[in-house]
């Protein structure tokens, strides 16, 4: 059973919602979200949506770069 199923909270500073996703802290901090210094970062639905919006252009550029 993982941490999400156990009901861990969102890792973003000031948020008390229940997490739905787990990502690397390095990836989340590069997106501009303020998180603690743990290995994994847990995000609620609202912060995961914000993370996806902020990294959309970067993901598209990487996709185009390595498209064969």
Domain count, the chain: 1
Q: What is the mean pLDDT of each run of 10 residues along the chain (68 residues)?
A: 90 95 93 90 96 92 83
Polymer length of the chain: 68
- Beta partners for residue 24, in sequence order: 40
| Exposure string for 35-67, b = 16+ CB within 10 A, e = fewer | beeeeebbbbeebbebbeeebeeeeeeeeeeee
**Any idea what the Cα angle at residue 16 is, between residues 11 and 22, rounded to 5°?**
35
pLDDT score at 35: 92
Spatial separation of the C-alpha atoms in residues 7 and 18, rounded to whole Å: 6
Domain that holds residue 31: 3-66
- Beta partners for residue 12, in sequence order: 35
């Amino acid at each position: 059973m993982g941490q999400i199923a156990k009901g861990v909270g969102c890792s973003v500073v000031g948020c008390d919602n229940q997490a739905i996703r787990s990502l690397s802290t390095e990836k989340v901090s590069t997106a501009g979200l303020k998180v603690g210094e743990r290995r994994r970062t847990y995000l609620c639905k609202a912060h995961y949506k914000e993370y996806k919006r902020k990294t959309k252009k970067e993901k598209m550029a990487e996709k185009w770069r390595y498209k064969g």
